[in-house]
Amino acid sequence: MVYPRIRQTEEPAAAFRERGSSRIVYFAGDIARSFWISGNPDLSQLLINSVHWILNRQAPTATVEGSGMVEMFAWETEPGFALHLLNYTNPNMTRPFVTHFFPTGPLQTQFQVSDGRKINSVRALRALRDLPFKQVGSTLHFEVPSVLDYEVVALS
């Protein structure tokens, strides 16, 4: 179905709300799934812009630049921080099966360290190797040479 059956409704397609320092974005439709299936760059830009609005001009905890499609998530651990990188670079990335992995990298990574902590070690746990890094203030810069399917980088 390309056009809705009802010409106009009072139901919003998206709702953006700000209360104090909290920001919420709600989409009535499944934007992420629609983007995943269609690859429509407009839906991708809508998601990216929504995340930027939620962050309210705050720098993200981690950024990765390089070729391929990589999902990342980070959190604080008892000894420091962990950055997980999942490589989705694959012609079947929107299908429930993957028959072959397509490595990606190198990935230029920036990580914001909370509370101005000093990092002494950056280690790729899957590759079993230490990664050279540079810390400037609260920003850590390092390169992940390659990710086959996933990598976990420990920062301590």
> What pLDDT, in 10s, does the model give residues 52-98?
999 897 888 899 999 998 999 999 988 899 999 999 998 877 777 77
Instruction: Based on the fold, state whether residues 146 and 115 are members of the same structural domain.
Output: yes
Instruction: Based on the fold, state whether residues 125 and 73 are members of the same structural domain.
Output: yes
Cis peptide before 91 (omega within 30 of 0): no
Structure tokens at 140: 């850590």
Nearest to 63 by CA among 110, 100, 30: 110
The C-alpha atoms of residue 139 and residue 142 are separated, in whole angstroms, by: 10
Instruction: Based on the fold, state whether residues 68 and 144 are members of the same structural domain.
Output: yes
Give burial (CB, 10 Å; 0-12/13-18/19+) of 109.
buried
The C-alpha atoms of residue 101 and residue 103 are separated, in whole angstroms, by: 6
Locus of tokens 């391929």: 68
Question: For the chain, what is the domain count?
Answer: 2
Instruction: Based on the fold, state whether residues 45 and 73 are members of the same structural domain.
Output: no
Residue 2 has a pLDDT of: 59
pLDDT digits (tens, 9 = 90+) for 102-153: 999 999 999 999 777 899 999 999 999 999 999 999 999 999 999 999 999 9
Cis peptide before 106 (omega within 30 of 0): yes
Task: Tell me the pTM.
Answer: 0.78
Domain that holds residue 90: 62-155
Nearest to 109 by CA among 134, 80, 78: 134
Which is higher by pLDDT, 2 or 36? 36
CATH number at residue 122: 2.60.40.1180
Helix residue ranges per DSSP H, 10-40: 31-38
pLDDT band at 4 (very low <50, low <70, confident <90, very high): low
Instruction: Based on the fold, state whether residues 136 and 85 are members of the same structural domain.
Output: yes
